[in-house]
Structure 1
Amino acid sequence: MNTETALRDALTQGAAALDVPEDPWSSFTKREKTHRRNRRLRFAAVAVVLLAAIGVQAGVVPLPGWAPGIAIAGRQTALTNAPARGSLAHDRAFQDGLRKSIKDVEDPGELWKVVSRDKIKIVYAADVAGHRLALALVPLRFGFLTDQALIWYEGPSGANPSAMNEAGRVDGGETVVTWMAGDASAPGIVVVVAPPASTVSVSTGFSYTPAGKVAHGKPVVSPGGLAEVPLPPSPFDPGTTITVTAGGRTLFQGPAAGSWSGPSFNGPGDYADATGRAVSDAALTAMLAGSSFDRATLRQWVAGALQDARLPAAGTTVRLPWTGTVNGRPAALITLQPRGGGVLAYAFHGSVTTYREDLRLLLPAAGAYTRPIAWRMRAEGKDDRTDQVIVVTPPGTVSAKLGPTPLTLDKSGAAIGILPSDAVASVTAYPSGASTPVPPFETDSGGLPGDTPKTRVVE
């Protein structure tokens, strides 16, 4: 054996004795195949769950009765924990029949199904003022979501449960629920259902005081958390205000939810003619003196303002302090003043057929026509709040400020300012120094203007 052969054999034996690991690439490919197979299995399982969840939420796949739901609203309250009230509170046959007749609730793109008819709670049931009414707490489910709703059902007095129709709905966690029906030729009714330990006051009729507040009629007070107050016939909503108190706290204050059936009309103009709210041609001519503003549009907007304020044209002074454009559309500021009362300012923009009410504000009579007035704007065609503020100044104004910021007035005495939607500021006109707070966005326009701090300038 020569030296070269001996060296080769020694190296071969030494290499055989070493612990050399397996080829790393080969090991990686084997492991990756295993991982890919596991990932495919996990992905398939997740996909099945997601598809099932989507199917359940969309209502295509039924949810098992044992599966828990995700509660999004509704809870037991002092209102819903109380025994049923009303003249039919002990009519078990009617209540059982109503539970069987209650339908699933349809919302756009959603079908909320009744979870269990045995769990439907009748909160109130009565024959009152020609109506058979029932208020029920209904447990609902839409896919994985659960909810409770307080739902009114209405029919003619003495109606069978199958003849009752849904007539209003609020969240199941509300502690005060109202219902109103009125008519131009027959008596109406207001029903308020509140916790048994509360006191309900219902006032009908109102006036706009010179001090810039709303004065309500003498209230009808009902203890025990239940009020059933008749309303006289009227061609328009007489302005009903409800206050519910308990233990020194105010649980609710505002208008009743419901409807008022007046004379037949096709729009505010016809409504004004039928209820004495039409503005005479002479009055329109006087308001439009020197203005090219569309006559029909102004008539419609004035009628809409009178309707919202629940005021007749007779005895109400109507003025047109400003016309211009807002977002490229015709716009106007209109004021109403009932005889001896405060001044209501309304702002509109749009056309005779399509328009938006941008402002309704009650002002004290003193100095009302020399104040600058401002209102916040929502996005055109939407309900989104913007930072845009429209400012209208009185005649004789040389300059104006929105808070500390100077404004650039156009020829009509108006300007567009910028103010964060949640900021507080006043607009001031010079040289008079007259100032008016910029009202916040109004979130509930169903009541009387001036009935809340958001629609008046005095505390």
Structure 2
Amino acid sequence: MSDTMIESTLRDTLTRTAGVVGVPDDPWPGFDHRAGRRRRSRQVRRAVGAGVLALLVGVQTNVVPLPGGTPGIAIAAPPSALADAPPRGALAGDRAWLDDLRARIGTDRELEKLDEPKGIWEIGDRRKIRLLYGSDLPRYRVALVVVPLRFGVLSTSALVWYVGPAGAAAGQMRYAGHAVGGDLPPVMTLMQAPKQGSGLAVVVGPVDSTVTISGEPVYTAAGRLEYRQLATRDSAGVGVAVLPPAPLGFQPVVRVSRGDEVIDETGLPGGPYAGPGPISDALLAAATRDTRGPALDRAVLADFVNAALLDSQLRATGTTVRVPWTGTVHGQPAALLTVQPARGGVIAYAMRGTERGGWTDLRLLMPAEGADRRPIAWRLRVEGAAARTDQVRVVAPAGAASATVTVAAGTPVPVDLDASGSGIATVPVDQPGTVTAYAADGAVLGSTPIPLGRESNFGQPPGDTPETRVVQ
């Protein structure tokens, strides 16, 4: 086949093929149409999403309210033996009064007093407001209620106190304290302390608990701490105490127990408390008459004495204060001092610090007999911290010629005493110890255990725990 024939055949074939294969139109209009549909779809989705988000934000911030019965997401919390308890008290059966109280709750903006930003919580379903305890007590009507709260789709509960005059209508009841959210406490306390007329303390614990409310501490000459019990039982797990007018000369101590288990033990907050009274120059002069060691700045010494009287809940008037020793611990002024109520036991305190603050390293209740012949020792702590060291400060009594420290049941080790009758000994932090003082003829003047220094509950008076007393 000639080249001319090949060229002609190829041209005819390509022409026929070109007629069969469709050539597409300009693709841009189709692409633009499809892209437009996608843009409009995205805009619709964004608008819907923004609307939903705005709705959720409105719900979550309570701008868009949900019906009270709408389920919420509960904040995780363990069951509460108190919040889940049945109603107690004489008002538990007064349905009309309880209905009025449910309607009244929240009307004087008491929710703004909760420990959350003001206005963040709203009351949920009012039908779920429950009375835990309600009763007429001397001079007061008291109610403790569970209030469901919600913040948008989140929900929680609060335990809220309301107080009014005895026989008060629901509208006369006023907010008097609360606990909210998360881990609700097993015990709720209320204290009313007016300046005129009697006050009131109320403690509500689990139904199967026993409540005691203790009054002024008494340090017996035998070296024991006793309390005058104030509580009367109003309902199962409820204790009530009538208090004298404020300011109180003592802080009531609450103990809630179930058998041998102590559920809660604390001093009642709320006062006001009278305090020890003024620390006079005459008191300080008498206290330091026989002090061994350098003179302390008056302000620092007065702070030490005031702190000891506050801790023991004793008044300056009628209490004997002595400062057997002064010195330096961690570069700070330090002192061993004792306070003793009339015909009572002796409480030793070891303190250090300045006017800007300080530490209490020892609180120890001792029998009155022989207290002035006892050596006292306490464990030193890491500078600026509460951690114990194996170093022990020993202060021998006046007239002692020597002193020893015995670790557990070991051999007594002599302590090198300085001119102030003080020295340093070594006692492992996990070992008990005893300090003993001797006269010049070798006779024993007295022995005192060395506390392990593990005490953490400074809310109770000295002598309340084995760590803070000599007599066990």
TM-score (norm 2): 0.65
Match of 2:204 in 1: 193
Check if 1:449 corresponds to 2:451.
no
Counterpart of 1:236 (choices 220, 225, 248) is 248
Check if 1:135 corresponds to 2:110.
no
Equivalent residue letter for 2:349: Y
Deviations along 1:212-265, one digit per CA (max 9) or x if unpaired, are: 11122255441522232211236434353445455x5555574542222246xx
2:298 and 2:392 map into 1 onto residues whose CA distance is 23
1:176 and 1:221 map into 2 onto residues whose CA distance is 17
Shift in Å at residue 303 of structure 1? 2.1
- List gaps (5 residues or longer) in structure 1: 1-55
Match of 2:389 in 1: 387
Alpha-carbon distance change, 154 to 458 in structure 1, aligned in 2, over 3 angstroms: same
Confirm or deny: 8 A CA contact 1:149 1:171 kept in the other structure: no
Confirm or deny: 8 A CA contact 1:137 1:151 kept in the other structure: yes
Shift in Å at residue 344 of structure 1? 0.7
Match of 2:238 in 1: 226
Confirm or deny: 8 A CA contact 1:105 1:112 kept in the other structure: no
Check if 1:429 corresponds to 2:442.
no
Match of 2:357 in 1: 354
2:281 and 2:236 map into 1 onto residues whose CA distance is 43
Shift in Å at residue 327 of structure 1? 2.1
Check if 1:211 corresponds to 2:222.
yes
Shift in Å at residue 336 of structure 1? 1.0
1:297-446 to 2 correspondences below 5 Å: 297-376=300-379, 384-387=386-389, 390-395=392-397, 396=400, 397-403=402-408, 409=416, 411=418, 412=420, 413-415=422-424, 417=426, 419-420=428-429, 423-429=430-436, 431=438, 432=444, 434-446=447-459
Alpha-carbon distance change, 243 to 284 in structure 1, aligned in 2, over 3 angstroms: closer
Equivalent residue letter for 2:459: G
Shift in Å at residue 302 of structure 1? 1.1
Equivalent residue letter for 1:425: P
Shift in Å at residue 330 of structure 1? 0.8
Counterpart of 2:84 (choices 74, 80, 87) is 80
Secondary structure of the residue aligned to 1:427 is strand
Match of 2:187 in 1: 176
Counterpart of 2:105 (choices 92, 98, 104) is 98
Shift in Å at residue 418 of structure 1? 5.8
1:418 and 1:146 map into 2 onto residues whose CA distance is 53
Deviations along 1:178-205, one digit per CA (max 9) or x if unpaired, are: 2233356542211011233444443433
Q: Name whichever of 132-141 and 208-217 sits farther off.
A: 132-141
1:116 and 1:367 map into 2 onto residues whose CA distance is 64
1:160-171 to 2 correspondences below 5 Å: 164=175, 166=177
Equivalent residue letter for 1:391: R
2:165 and 2:281 map into 1 onto residues whose CA distance is 34
Confirm or deny: 8 A CA contact 2:131 2:143 kept in the other structure: yes
2:388 and 2:121 map into 1 onto residues whose CA distance is 38
1:149-168 to 2 correspondences below 5 Å: 150-152=159-161, 164=175, 166=177
Shift in Å at residue 114 of structure 1? 6.8
Shift in Å at residue 169 of structure 1? 7.1
Shift in Å at residue 292 of structure 1? 1.7
Equivalent residue letter for 1:272: G
Structure whose CA Rg is larger: 2
Deviations along 1:89-129, one digit per CA (max 9) or x if unpaired, are: 74322234326755378769999957945555442345656
Shift in Å at residue 299 of structure 1? 1.9
Alpha-carbon distance change, 106 to 378 in structure 1, aligned in 2, over 3 angstroms: farther
1:407 and 1:184 map into 2 onto residues whose CA distance is 56
Match of 2:132 in 1: 123
Secondary structure of the residue aligned to 2:311 is helix
Check if 1:292 corresponds to 2:301.
no
Confirm or deny: 8 A CA contact 2:332 2:354 kept in the other structure: yes
Alpha-carbon distance change, 105 to 241 in structure 1, aligned in 2, over 3 angstroms: closer
2:291 and 2:157 map into 1 onto residues whose CA distance is 53
Equivalent residue letter for 1:98: I
Alpha-carbon distance change, 68 to 373 in structure 1, aligned in 2, over 3 angstroms: farther
Identical counterparts, % of pairs: 32
1:272 and 1:334 map into 2 onto residues whose CA distance is 18
Shift in Å at residue 272 of structure 1? 1.6
Confirm or deny: 8 A CA contact 2:83 2:159 kept in the other structure: no
